[in-house]
Amino acid sequence: MNAISHDVAKQPAVAPGSEGSKLAALNAWVAEVAALTKPDAIHWCDGSDAENAALIAQMQADGTLIKLNETTHPNSYLHRSHPDDVARVEHLTFVCTTKQDDAGPNNHWMAPADGHAKMDALFDGCMKGRTMYVIPYCMGPIDSPLSRCGVEITDSPYVVANMRIMTRMGAAPLARIEREGKFVRGLHSIGELDPERRFIMHFPEELTIKSFGSGYGGNALLGKKCHALRIASHQARSEGWLAEHMLILGLENPQGETHYIAAAFPSACGKTNLAMLIPPEGYRADGWKVWTVGDDICWMRPGADGRLYAINPEAGFFGVAPGTSAKSNPNALKSIQSNTIFTNVGVTADNQPWWEGLDDGQQPVTDWRGNAYDAAKGPAAHPNSRFTVSARQCPSYSPEAENAAGVPISAIVFGGRRPSLVPLVFEARDWTHGVLVGAAMGSETTAAATGAVGVMRRDPMAMKPFCGYNFADYFTHWLSFDQAGAKLPKIFHVNWFRKGDDGSFLWPGFGENLRVLEWMIQRVKGEAGSVETPIGHLPKDDEINLDGVELTDEARAKLFGFEREGWQAEFASIGDYLDEYGPRMPQALKDEQQRIAKALQN
């Protein structure tokens, strides 16, 4: 495509206008990658509308993108990935640190020299016949001191189109890279999409990522989980901040006060739904509002006043489509009515995107593989099908998402899918207890990763697939924020997924979750009481506003109760889990676990 691709012989592997600039390291790296991968053409992405239009036209022409109904979903497209390339591949994801202990038992490890050798052998000549795209990008507001820049080199125009939505991409980040002289390096190729030749390698000590053999979201959009969590968590530890798998929302009360909450849930456990929550009707009438700052990733740094300030490093949403509906998440549904890339969803007779749970009265005729839909052969949309859309299209989008200073965090929330034992909400006693609550977090697995679904596993801070170094050191880093002068957020744990004896959910969830957030902020302000138990502070009777919510006696008992014997077994399991990390596990966390375990025996 002449509008995009330039002959390598005519376009050197240097940033436009960079001769004699501070981009020498970037230019040298691009030239080195071009020599290894041997593309037919090189294109430096500027992020412009014209460039994006040309890329979209190219992908329509070769079938990478399929135009959807222009009337119902203007400027929106469908992408179908390879059927073997539909989710994160945690077993093929490696952290390559000099010392294996620095990666920890929570990561697959490979020596850096071995990792580079394995990946470079795969990359050798892999871009012959393809264009090599160079994508400068910024994670976070372009002028924020909390933001960090990167460059992804890829042979996938689909990746370019998605990175343009998910990051601040193009000329402005390139200018910042030139000013700062440093960036995260990400090299990606779809290769042959062979599952046997698929690896994602992270070299945190070098701020480098290499990904081969996948075109799927988090495996290919290297600004997302690879940079914003695995590499950034390593950066954050050395620079004194936190890179977390958390949504950020603003809760505005009728008095006009806005408190910001960061919440960590494993993938497909409701982060996007909570980030875009619409208050129940009575709350809306009283003037409550929820503002969406981010739905997936949060970078936090202590401010001069001792509080934690957070930015969302992403500029878009890469959300799970199935289950998204006018009932579950009206704001998400409104966000994706235009200018959206859908991946692996079904299609209706009039070419509209469709997925299970949409509840729009339509029926799919084509499934996510492109075959005629047959319910007997599986769902129309892959369970991990996605939408990519600019955050600015969300009706609840907060202008504070572009605040270079970040937003002050009043509360941190942890939660996962726990069908039994764990109550609706409890508050940690202090920061150390809160870190243990996050470290011990458990959840049932979902379709966002390959492997069995519905298996309970420990997922500390929802970072099990994403922490770029040893969890024991990560917990130590979290504990280090509790120092003189710090005004740290209160820490809570929630469980929207508690089930009754009949297997049905006991809490209505969705917009009703605001009632729990309200109690949290009342606790932050010292305006609500609690019942003290060994596991933390539970709400007192009637301190969570349940007007209009019908709960059975069983639901009340299980959502707000404390089951001593079950928690005794849970804390014994937590002790075993902490021991898995050996002597690097901070003693403060082990002491806290033992203190609570002892209290549970009384």
Distance of CA 358 to the CA centre of its chain: 22
Q: What is the C-alpha separation between 144 and 254, in angstroms, rounded?
A: 30
Among 346, 374, 393, the domain-final residue is 393
Predicted TM-score of the model (pTM): 0.95
- CATH number (domain holding residue 371): 2.170.8.10
Do both 418 and 329 map to the same domain? Answer: no
Q: Which of 18-27, 207-216, 217-226, 552-561 has the lowest mean pLDDT?
A: 18-27
Is 182 a member of any domain? yes
pLDDT band of residue 8 (cuts 50, 70, 90) is very low
Is 496 a member of any domain? yes
Do both 227 and 367 map to the same domain? Answer: no
pLDDT band of residue 16 (cuts 50, 70, 90) is confident
Q: What is the pLDDT of residues 106-133, one digit of tens each?
A: 999 999 999 999 999 999 999 999 999 9
Size of the chain, expressed as the number of residues it contains = 602
pLDDT at 266: 87
pLDDT at 425: 98
Range of the structural domain that residue 334 is part of: 317-393
Among 393, 425, 450, the domain-final residue is 393
Is 201 a member of any domain? yes
Do both 143 and 251 map to the same domain? Answer: no
pLDDT at 569: 94
Percentage of the chain lying above the pLDDT 70 cut: 96
Provide the domain count of the chain.
Answer: 3
Q: What is the pLDDT of residues 565-600, one digit of tens each?
A: 999 999 999 999 999 999 999 999 999 999 999 999
pLDDT band of residue 1 (cuts 50, 70, 90) is very low
Is 559 a member of any domain? yes
Do both 161 and 47 map to the same domain? Answer: yes
269 is catalytic: yes
Do both 235 and 277 map to the same domain? Answer: no
pLDDT of residue 89 exceeding 90: no
Binding-site residue ranges: 88, 216-218, 225, 245, 267-273, 296, 384-386, 417, 510-513
Do both 383 and 412 map to the same domain? Answer: no
Is 582 a member of any domain? no
* Mean pLDDT value across the chain: 94
Q: What is the pLDDT of residues 211-246, one digit of tens each?
A: 999 999 989 999 999 999 999 999 999 999 999 999
pLDDT of residue 9 exceeding 50: no
What is the token pair recorded at 457? 């596993």
pLDDT of residue 10 exceeding 70: no
Q: Write out the E strands in 461-581.
A: 490-494, 531-533, 536-538
Q: Which of 85-94, 199-208, 398-407 has the lowest mean pLDDT?
A: 85-94
Is 76 a member of any domain? no
Binding-site residue ranges for GTP: 268-273, 386, 417, 510-513
Backbone phi, then psi, for 560, in 5-degree steps? -120, 10
Do both 215 and 354 map to the same domain? Answer: no
Q: What is the pLDDT of residues 350-385, one digit of tens each?
A: 999 999 999 889 999 999 999 999 999 999 999 999
Q: Report the 10 Å Cβ neighbour count for 481.
A: 18
Q: What is the C-alpha separation between 21 and 28, in angstroms, rounded?
A: 12
Q: Write out the E strands in 66-147.
A: 66-67, 77-79, 93-95, 108-109, 131-139
- CATH number (domain holding residue 433): 3.90.228.20
Q: What is the pLDDT of residues 297-354, one digit of tens each?
A: 999 999 999 999 999 999 999 999 999 999 989 999 999 999 999 999 999 999 999 9
Do both 114 and 151 map to the same domain? Answer: yes
Q: What is the C-alpha separation between 10 and 41, in angstroms, rounded?
A: 9
Among 343, 362, 393, the domain-final residue is 393
Spatial contact of 302 and 489, defined as CB atoms under 8 Å apart: no
Binding-site residue ranges for Mn(2+): 225, 245, 296
- CATH number (domain holding residue 133): 3.40.449.10
Q: What is the C-alpha separation between 284 and 517, in angstroms, rounded?
A: 14
pLDDT at 267: 77
Is 4 a member of any domain? no
pLDDT at 19: 62
Q: What is the pLDDT of residues 441-470, one digit of tens each?
A: 988 876 656 666 667 889 999 999 999 999
pLDDT at 4: 53
Q: Choose, from 96, 138, 226, 269, the residue flagged as catalytic.
A: 269
Binding-site residue ranges for substrate: 88, 216-218, 267, 384-386
pLDDT of residue 3 exceeding 50: no
| Angle, CA of 459, 81 and 393, to the nearest 5° | 70
Q: What is the C-alpha separation between 303 and 498, in angstroms, rounded?
A: 37
Do both 298 and 423 map to the same domain? Answer: yes
Percentage of the chain lying above the pLDDT 90 cut: 90
Do both 308 and 403 map to the same domain? Answer: yes
Is 421 a member of any domain? yes
Do both 420 and 539 map to the same domain? Answer: yes
pLDDT of residue 475 exceeding 80: yes
pLDDT at 348: 98
Mean pLDDT of 58-86: 97
Do both 59 and 153 map to the same domain? Answer: yes
